[in-house]
Structure 1
Amino acid sequence: MTTSATTDRPATPTDAGHVDVLIVGAGVSGIGVAHHLREAFPDRSFAILEAQDARGGTWWTHQFPGARSDSDLFTYGYRHKPWRGPSIAAGGAILEYLDEVIQEDDLADKIHYRHRVTAADFSSAEHRWTVDVVREDTGEELRYTTDFLWMCSGYYKHDEPYTPEWPGMDRFRGPIVHPQSWPKDLDYAGKKVVVIGSGATAATVVPNTAKTAAHVTMVQRSPSYWFAAPTVHELAATLEPLDLPAEWTHEILRRQYIQQLDWLATTGKDDPDQLHEFLIEGIRPLLPEGTDIEKHFTPTYRPWQQRIAFVPDGDMFERMREGKVSIVTDTIEEFTERGVRLGSGEELEADVIVTATGFRLSAFADVPFRVDEEAVDFRTKVTWRGLMISDVPNMAYAFGYFRHSWTLRVDLVADVVERIMRHMDESGLHTVTPKLRPTDADMPLRPWSDLDNFNPGYVQRSQDRMFGQGDREPWLHMHEHDVDRVELPKADIEDGLTYS
């Protein structure tokens, strides 16, 4: 991620006013931290800027057939608000949940849609950020000022999905679509569909399009790990007749899922062979007889080195047993008029091709940042505990987990930022800036993500564009939840932070 380029300022932007806190992004992160602000600082003013047409972030962007969570909603839901539905939920249900939070916290008039941030400048003399915005619907240029900037824009480009360039793509006679920009009028009923990719998105697109398509073929360069999770946890079914308060059920299931995710993450690191066997044997009885498990379902990486594709109630495998879905493990040589030609020479015919090929990472929404007129090159910076950036004052960011539910970390991050804000209020301080200590002068700058720990394509493609981390606290991130939930609540908010 490089945001060092300068941006020409509009000559006469419209003054949009000043707020104590400016939140960028109205997805699960932005709405979540807005709740924390409402609760902890009811007298503090804030606004939320959202570039898209509506709330929801990823759940507004992804409107492909069957879009659903691949994390359970008892941990993906907020700590403060019980989830009352099934463990795995469709995107529409998640949006309804977010709407309830917006209504309960009276956030509707705080969210400004179609407001894209184009630049952010911090002035040490004024102790504040100047944030330039363009309205996507009118082109009007606005200027906000704020004491504290909180980036909650997610981690990928919503309007620019990642699609590799294959030879002959212009020759294919049918539509080529990416799930991130799915056309509402796409007709695939009774047609042959080829889906390229085998990650979490493909695990949703494939079984759902197969309901009406003539046939769906999933083409994967290499296999992924899969897990057939029940839509309704068996513990939830046990608790239902007890008529417990929703808060109790939420907390019990939340703890149960956290325990399961901790086991997966720990076992994947400490005993990958055991987890490999657990995952493979879990899907073996669900696959059609004669399936080549070694070829199609045995990855080259260890379990949890990439996300596991969760399959609610095994719907993917059910479609395979019905003969509606098939899997091909091969490379793509080129697109043809009728489909795709594989490395083996085989041609797969298709009426529609879906490129479920991943994201383009975009931390901080690719906004150009400046501090005292000097452009910030995030590639030279390190993270402070995965929630602030070295030498960037009064700015926090919400970044969740890749293995656990994203929202679990958003709540923990908000708790730390709340402690920092209270400390500043009580001490009459205006700025907080992560600064390397004298003992960190020779600290090596390590990559944003350790590829031996987590190495999906979208992370590998972004390594040279992202901020880094050090080799010691508090300059580390990418911890698992079992570490963060202990360490973040007791994090020393003066260690590595300079106040003035």
Structure 2
Amino acid sequence: MTTVSSSDVPAWSSPRHVDVLIIGAGLSGIGAAWRLQRESGWTYAVIEARERAGGTWDLFRYPGVRSDSDMFTLSYPFQPWRGKKSLADGDSIRRYIEDTAREHGIDRHVHYGRTVTAAEWSWTQGRWLVETKKGGLSSTWTCSFLYICAGYYDYKQGHQPDFEDVEHFGGRFAHPQFWPHDLDVTGKRVVVIGSGATAVTLIPALAKTAAHVTMLQRSPTYMSSQSDIDRTADALRRALPSRLAHILVRAKNVLFSQLTYWLSRRYPEQTKRHLRRALLRFLPDEAYVDQHFAPRYQPWDQRLCVVPNGDFFRDVAAGRASVVTDRIARFVKRGIALESGKELKADVVVSATGLSLIPLGGIRLSVGGKPIDLADTTAYRGLMLSGVPNLAFCVGYTNASWTLRADLSSRYVVRLLRHLRRRDLTTAMPAFPRESARRPLLGLTSTYVQRAAHLFPRQGDRDPWVVTQNYVIDRMRFAFLDVRKGMIFDE
């Protein structure tokens, strides 16, 4: 192991060195490890803060948690999804990630229960010095290349508005990100605050036993029903080898989702009418649909909310659930007082008010002793940072399955590392881009995204600084791109 000079290393314990250090053992991290270990001669390790693999799918344990992306695109291209449901429950997804890691020997490289707090690039050593903590003990890893696959959800806290007089509420108050294991809603009146994917997932699960569930929203969200069974996939899996069937179904679903997104953005008014007609098949009351399911924004300004098999709509139609569009004035002992003057009675209130976002897992970065403010950096190809050497980060698409973009990022990292090896280079750093318009990295108007936009890197308006939310274009572009463009290399 190479010795790191004491003047260059913070006062942590003695370091361990690998060629590539991956942060996070969720979908992105395990996929990155698979790509890396196919290349002989590279050492790697995966650092995971939780006690098992799965990332987001290990964190969220609320009732009914499931994917709103189909599993044939959310799964890995190298590991066919064999589950029965295309829209799978959270525990099945977590097991899929664990099984993939075990089957390919990746689990032997994962170090659990370690939180990465800081990483400093040493110019004199040409490597990253990475501080980790486990319990009360600190230790240091060093690596030639740092790949942060921690997503952008803050695992320590979800978003919680400052509700007035919430302490006066006499019932149970819960947040989905930290679901109480002892919470039983049987026979109780439940109010779920929020109208996003979490709320729409929770309500059908809670409505099975609750006396009634009310979704309280400030404003409507675009929603669409989708079957959780892909019958085309089932037919192909019966007729063809699993890997070939997986490739074909994956391609079908990619093309369908990208075409749907393009049509939605190109023809928003027609899309609105189509979504409304689809809703009326479940909820024939036009006035009710127009009041509670007609958003003020355009389709895909925010992520479309998928409702598996229309279960949420069916519960509303059957009277097991209802929707109230209003604002909270304050909490009272028996429930929630609304700005309209009405009062919602509740025994349990669930605050599905969104997630808190945090860039790069909240890791403090510095280069040569100088702290990096991520908001001052520009994202290079949506996966590296201007002025930061030998570091990549992984974020997925906002309009398609996360894994599609994550796998492209990992392919790029491998390609860049190959280039460094072939040319006997040690450092690759995106140059600061020339003057150009800078805009948010995540192109959604959702409140939870806008709250944290100022913390994230920005993107530019031209290649290689612009992020394209189109997998088909990116897949072709990444296959032929020049890794030297906009990059500074050093021996």
Q: TM-score range by the shorter chain?
A: over 0.9
Structure-to-structure mapping, 1:450-469, within 5 angstroms: 450=443, 454-469=444-459
What do residues 268-298 of structure 1 show as CA deviations (whole Å, max 9, x unaligned)?
2111112112222112111264661111011
What secondary structure, in the 3-state scheme, does the structure 2 residue paired with 1:176 have? strand
CA deviation after TM superposition for structure 1 residue 463, in Å: 1.9
Query: Does 1:229 pair with 2:219?
Result: no
Q: Which amino acid aligns with 1:124?
A: W
Asked if the contact 2:194/2:217 (under 8 Å) is kept, the reply is: yes
- The residue aligned with 1:5 is none
Q: Distance in 2 between matches of 1:351 and 1:370?
A: 48
What do residues 149-170 of structure 1 show as CA deviations (whole Å, max 9, x unaligned)?
0000011101110011110111
- From the superposition, tell whether residues 31 and 214 of structure 1 become closer, same or farther in structure 2 (CA, over 3 Å): same
**Stretches of 4+ aligned residues off by more than 4 angstroms:** 9-12, 288-291
CA deviation after TM superposition for structure 1 residue 441, in Å: 3.2
Q: Distance in 2 between matches of 1:57 and 1:101?
A: 14
CA deviation after TM superposition for structure 1 residue 343, in Å: 1.3
- The residue aligned with 2:193 is 196
Query: Does 1:443 pair with 2:436?
Result: yes
CA deviation after TM superposition for structure 1 residue 143, in Å: 0.6
Query: Does 1:171 pair with 2:164?
Result: no
- From the superposition, tell whether residues 342 and 488 of structure 1 become closer, same or farther in structure 2 (CA, over 3 Å): same
Q: Distance in 1 between matches of 2:205 and 2:10?
A: 50
What secondary structure, in the 3-state scheme, does the structure 2 residue paired with 1:369 have? strand
Q: Distance in 1 between matches of 2:197 and 2:439?
A: 28
What do residues 294-329 of structure 1 show as CA deviations (whole Å, max 9, x unaligned)?
110111111111111111111111211221100001
Q: Distance in 1 between matches of 2:233 and 2:283?
A: 26
Q: Structure 1 length as normaliser, TM-score? A: 0.94
- The residue aligned with 1:320 is 316
Query: Does 1:309 pair with 2:305?
Result: yes
Q: Which amino acid aligns with 2:139?
A: L
Q: Distance in 2 between matches of 1:288 and 1:327?
A: 15
Q: Distance in 1 between matches of 2:234 and 2:102?
A: 29
- The residue aligned with 1:3 is none
- From the superposition, tell whether residues 288 and 278 of structure 1 become closer, same or farther in structure 2 (CA, over 3 Å): closer
What secondary structure, in the 3-state scheme, does the structure 2 residue paired with 1:482 have? helix
Query: Does 1:121 pair with 2:120?
Result: yes
Q: Which amino acid aligns with 2:424?
A: G
What do residues 68-109 of structure 1 show as CA deviations (whole Å, max 9, x unaligned)?
000000000001111111211001111111111111211222
Asked if the contact 1:38/1:105 (under 8 Å) is kept, the reply is: no
Q: Distance in 1 between matches of 2:453 and 2:286?
A: 40
Q: Which amino acid aligns with 1:490?
A: F
What do residues 445-483 of structure 1 show as CA deviations (whole Å, max 9, x unaligned)?
333345xxx211111111222111112111111522232
Q: Distance in 1 between matches of 2:277 and 2:196?
A: 19
What secondary structure, in the 3-state scheme, does the structure 1 residue paired with 2:100 have? helix
- The residue aligned with 1:52 is 50
What do residues 42-72 of structure 1 show as CA deviations (whole Å, max 9, x unaligned)?
3311111111222111101100001100000
Q: Distance in 1 between matches of 2:476 and 2:295?
A: 32
Structure 1: 5+ residue stretches without partners: 1-8
What secondary structure, in the 3-state scheme, does the structure 2 residue paired with 1:311 have? strand
Structure-to-structure mapping, 1:47-446, within 5 angstroms: 47-85=45-83, 86-135=85-134, 138-239=135-236, 242-287=238-283, 289=285, 292-436=288-432, 440-446=433-439
Asked if the contact 2:441/2:456 (under 8 Å) is kept, the reply is: yes
What do residues 394-447 of structure 1 show as CA deviations (whole Å, max 9, x unaligned)?
0001111111000001111111111110010001000000003xxx43223333
Say which structure, 1 or 2, has more relative contact order (CA 8 Å, 6+ apart): 1
What secondary structure, in the 3-state scheme, does the structure 1 residue paired with 2:210 have? coil
What secondary structure, in the 3-state scheme, does the structure 2 residue paired with 1:403 have? coil
Q: Distance in 2 between matches of 1:16 and 1:33?
A: 23
Asked if the contact 2:359/2:455 (under 8 Å) is kept, the reply is: no
Q: Distance in 2 between matches of 1:174 and 1:45?
A: 53
- The residue aligned with 1:19 is 18
